[in-house]
């Protein structure tokens, strides 16, 4: 039976980090009861865009959803269950910051239905946490991990690497501590620091105040992560994600396998089936305007469009080639006029196989470990082929 994932976006944070380009706002004095009712109303509104009724994952992201009460969370979960049907092994994740996490809160989240926590630690070094603008220190992070260990079987540790003046030797030492904690929790998401436009870090970079590692050094760090994660039995299953066996993120696998999902909340995105293509739904970005639209008996959708065959085919590749598992031709061919079996015989793509960046197994393909490190250039070649043939 086909099922879908549901993402709930909570846009509020106590502080906004200088590298963050997500749709977040500094916490205001808001009426949480009104906001909860708006989420419930929008869940009902958007449910009409899909014929799928079973939900395999719910993800509360943000922002800082661990600022929300357990009662709020429980009511949203129950409302989703009343409008859809939660699968027997549904995964329900909440993102949390160490500074807003107390044992009592976690315990109440578990009672409310949460069964997985993604903890935004980012670093265990206080100097790096200060640089990243985080509102917690390493002791708070370690304390939060201990709380999570006692209450949850599944959890994730979020880490950032590639910071200014980060040395390879100290990075290896830091990584051992990170891997120890991640092995206990069962999952690690480790992302390279990227500088996005319109962020404070972008302004610092442009003014020459940010001295980032070279591409060569970042590449070395990336392969150190892969090597060490294998030793810690946390193999890579996606470019930035590692887990012990069976602890992969069900929700995020849904994105990468190009399953249908609904996004509810300011700026959230959805992908739903529409005939042989996919429809993109984008919610109103401004929290205030999103709330007003729903309270006026409309919906929170700002933009919707049916993606072209080329766009859909490229999205299948953009998501699927991030994974360690092979991308089956069946998934791609469902949305593309040009079959994957034909594409991999085209010289531009055959060269990727010869170069060891793409691996082929019958009619399935995947990126090699080296290919994952240069995924953007691989996708550029696929885009050239797809757009020249359609």
Q: pLDDT, tens digit, for every residue of 322-351?
A: 999 999 999 999 988 889 999 999 999 999
Q: Residue 389: its pLDDT value, please?
A: 60
Backbone angles phi, psi at 12, to 5 degrees: -95, 140
Mean pLDDT of the chain: 95
Lowest mean pLDDT among 102-116, 146-160, 376-390: 376-390
pLDDT band at 1 (very low <50, low <70, confident <90, very high): low
Q: Mean per-residue pLDDT for 99-123?
A: 96
Percent of the chain with pLDDT over 70: 99
Q: What burial letters (b/e) apply to 50-79, b meaning 16+ CB within 10 Å?
A: bebeebbbbbbbbbbbbbbebebbbbbbeb
Q: Which residue shows structure tokens 């706002």?
A: 25
Share of the chain above pLDDT 90, in %: 93
Locus of tokens 């250039």: 377
pLDDT tens column, 45-78? 999 999 999 999 999 999 999 999 999 999 999 9
Mean pLDDT confidence for 107-119: 98
Tokens representing residue 28 in the block: 């205001």
Question: What residue ranges define each of the domains in the chain, with the CATH number in brackets?
Answer: 3-255 (3.20.20.70), 326-390 (no CATH)
Residue burial 238-274, b: 16+ Cβ < 10 Å; e: rest:
bbbbbbbeebbbbbbbbbbebbbbbbbbbbbebbbbb
User: Do β-strands 54-62 and 3-10 pair in parallel, antiparallel, or remain unpaired?
Assistant: parallel
Are 2 and 52 in contact, with CB atoms under 8 Å apart? yes
Q: Is 286 left (phi over 0), alpha (psi -120 to 50) or beta?
A: beta
pLDDT for res 274: 77
Q: How many residues does the chain have?
A: 390
pLDDT at 268 over 70: yes
Average pLDDT, integer, range 120-125: 96
pLDDT on residue 100: 84
376: how many CB neighbours lie within 10 A of its CB? 8
Pairing of strands 301-306, 358-361: unpaired
């Amino acid at each position: 039976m086909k099922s879908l994932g549901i993402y709930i976006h909570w846009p509020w944070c106590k502080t906004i980090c200088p590298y963050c380009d997500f749709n977040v706002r500094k916490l205001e004095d808001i009426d949480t009861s009104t906001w909860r009712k708006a989420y419930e109303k929008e869940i009902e509104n958007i449910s009409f865009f899909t014929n799928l009724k079973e939900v395999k994952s719910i993800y509360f992201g943000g922002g800082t959803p661990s600022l929300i009460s357990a009662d709020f969370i429980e009511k949203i979960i129950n409302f989703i269950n009343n409008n859809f049907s939660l699968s027997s092994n549904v995964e329900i994740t909440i993102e949390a910051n160490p500074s807003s996490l107390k044992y009592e809160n976690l315990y109440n989240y578990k009672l409310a239905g949460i069964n997985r926590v993604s903890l935004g630690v980012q670093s265990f070094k206080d100097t790096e946490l200060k640089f990243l603008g985080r509102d917690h220190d390493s002791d708070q992070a370690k304390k939060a991990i201990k709380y999570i260990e006692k209450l949850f079987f599944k959890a994730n540790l979020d880490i950032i690497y590639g910071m200014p003046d980060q040395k390879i030797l100290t990075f290896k030492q830091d990584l051992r501590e990170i891997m120890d904690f991640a092995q206990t929790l069962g999952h690690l998401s480790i992302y390279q620091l990227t500088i996005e436009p319109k962020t404070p870090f972008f302004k610092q970079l442009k003014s020459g105040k940010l001295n980032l590692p070279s591409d060569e050094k970042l590449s070395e760090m990336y392969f150190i992560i892969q090597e060490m994660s294998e030793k810690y039995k946390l193999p890579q299953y996606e470019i930035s994600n590692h887990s012990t066996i069976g602890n992969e993120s069900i929700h995020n696998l849904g994105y990468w396998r190009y399953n249908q999902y609904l996004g509810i909340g300011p700026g959230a995105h959805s992908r739903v089936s529409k005939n042989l293509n996919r429809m993109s739904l984008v919610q109103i970005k401004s929290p205030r305007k999103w709330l007003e639209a729903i309270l006026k008996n409309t919906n929170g959708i700002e933009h919707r469009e049916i993606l072209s065959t080329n766009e859909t085919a490229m999205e299948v590749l953009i998501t699927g080639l991030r994974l360690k598992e092979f991308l089956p031709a069946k998934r791609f061919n469902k949305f593309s006029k040009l079959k994957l079996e034909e594409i991999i015989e085209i010289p531009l793509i055959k060269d990727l196989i010869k170069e060891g960046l793409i691996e082929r197994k019958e009619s399935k393909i995947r990126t090699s470990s080296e290919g994952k490190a240069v995924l953007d250039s691989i996708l550029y070649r696929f885009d050239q082929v797809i757009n020249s043939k359609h």
